[in-house]
Chain A
């Protein structure tokens, strides 16, 4: 039994679980990570578009995004010993008309109010930053400190380094319930085994909901399917992260030369067949829709060949931002889920701050707007 004990049990081997376990172990805690699937980082961690951005983010999660980009991302590849392909070359959010301009201006004003360096730029300045865009692009918001990284490699880099310094990972180990002992969360049950820790971090994406339900905690969230596509390697064109006012697509060119773009068809919530829970399938209508979105802004890419597409679930919170931190009702529990499609970029900051929360009892970045207790009925 003693082999199943650690200071902290982390439920979920995605980038949040891997990063949290790494920072905890680095500060001397013993950690066990339990991953239900056969692969580390098999959910959104490996299926997202790789954005590491602050622009467009909600003021409640912006402090985490800004902290990560300032303090953690620049040295991350060196620290983990793996090239995470991090680029801090800016984010362009593109628009073509007055309606787009209004949307972008609103996002920009809210971000500036939070102290972020982001501004509106005109067609000439856009062309200077990225000469490959369509002439129809007339406005954009520009955040020079945004960027992107390789999500698959970054997730596995956290895993590799955490494992190297002594974190124990179990794959194929599906958690079925949590159990309190004398009012404090202590035990984690899987189909075959029981694990025990002083703290339990639940970072299992949408699946967190069922697990948390076993101790009476319910995070209001739902799943939405999102898809990505990747082209063959192309000559180097640009290093910025891209998006559009109407979210036609988002993406970047990777170090490898391929373009990685993500997007949705708009019919995801009500499509009939999106595949089994742990292996989401592409819908035939979505990648063509993303292609049309890209060509509207990048006619030069029309001959680029798509070599691969994939799908993944976002765990969308009721109010669009994650649920993070302690839960008053269940001492010993730390929740980290409902990332709403923003989890990758803030993952290093979330991991480091949750480790700090568990060890020091407080975070240095304000995450009070992300607490579990924030959900109330409208009247």
Chain B
């Protein structure tokens, strides 16, 4: 069941932090500061963050960083990380060559 969220609620100003240049998503090289800024741009769900920044869209598909990203987004919104739905997992679960995947015919 979805909850109604007013996206104009004031979450405060973006305040720079000393470790903002720390890389969180290693596959796509996205930093903590970029993730925090995206929240202030209005990206309040894991899915929106992912589509906006590409976190979790690389080779590991978020298996490494999704928990870290969730923690950063939740802290920025001052909510419990459990309130954030994870982004949808997508097939194939391992990178697969086109010539291999193309063999599936039925």
- Among B12-20, B65-73, B95-103, the one that faces the other chain is B95-103
Q: How many positions in chain A have a CB within 8 Å of any CB in the partner chain? A: 49
Report the stretch among A103-111, A300-308, A314-322, A366-374 that lies at the interface. Answer: A300-308
Find out whether the CB atom of A288 lies under 8 angstroms from the CB atom of B92: no
**Contact of A287 with B by CB under 8 A:** yes
Q: What is the bound-complex CA distance between A231 and B95, given in angstroms?
A: 8
Given contacts A169-B8, A172-B5, A174-B2, contact A288 B58 (CB under 8 A): no
Neighbouring B residues of A46 by C-beta, 8 Å: 51
Supposing A303-B97, A304-B97 touch, asked if A171 and B59 sit within 8 A by C-beta, the answer is no
Contacting A at CB under 8 A, from B26-51, are: 41-43, 45, 47-48, 51
Q: Which listed residue (A155, A190, A305, A309) contacts B91, Cβ 8 A?
A: A309
Residue in chain A with minimal CB distance to B105:
A288
Q: A279 interface residue, CB < 8 Å from B?
A: yes
Give chain A residues whose Cβ lies under 8 Å from the Cβ of B59: 232, 307
Give the one of A174, A192, A292 with max B CB within 10 A: A292
Q: Is the CB of A287 within 8 A of B52?
A: no
A287-B101, A291-B98, A308-B90 known; A172 and B3 CB under 8 Å?
yes
Residues in A with CB closer than 8 Å to B41 are 156, 160
Measured in the bound complex, the distance between the Cα atoms of B4 and A312 in whole Å is 24
The residue of chain B having its C-beta at the shortest distance from the C-beta of A41 within the complex is: B51
Is the CB–CB distance between A305 and B42 below 8 Å? Answer: no
Cβ A291 vs Cβ B58 within 8 A: no
* Inter-chain contact total with CB atoms closer than 8 Å: 124
User: Which of these, A173, A256, A288, contacts B102 with CB under 8 Å?
Assistant: A288
Q: Which of A20-66 contact B (CB under 8 A)?
A: 36-42, 46
**Overall SS of chain A's interface:** mixed
Bound CA–CA A307/B95 (angstroms): 5
Give the contacting residue for B104; candidates A153, A288, A303; CB below 8 A.
A288
**A309→B6 contact, CB < 8 A:** no
Complex Cα gap A155–B47 (Å)? 13
Distance in angstroms from B62 CB to nearest chain A CB is 10
Chain A residue numbers with a CB within 8 Å of B54 are 256
Q: Give the residues from 313 to 372 in chain A that come closer than 8 angstroms, CB to CB, to chain B.
A: none
A185 within 8 A of B: no
**Smallest CB gap from A159: residue in B:** B42
Q: A171-B4, A172-B5, A302-B98 in contact; A310/B42 too (CB < 8 A)?
A: no
Give B2 Cβ to nearest chain A Cβ, in Å: 3
Smallest CB-CB A-B distances: 10 pairs = A172-B2, A291-B102, A152-B51, A305-B95, A288-B104, A169-B7, A302-B99, A308-B90, A291-B98, A39-B47
Question: Which residues in A have some Cβ–Cβ distance to B below 8 Å?
Answer: 36-42, 46, 152-153, 155-156, 159-160, 163-164, 168-174, 190, 192-193, 231-232, 256, 279, 282, 284-285, 287-288, 291-292, 294-295, 301-310
B binding-site residues for A, Cβ under 8 Å: 2-8, 41-43, 45, 47-48, 51-52, 54, 57-59, 61, 85, 88, 90-92, 95-99, 101-106
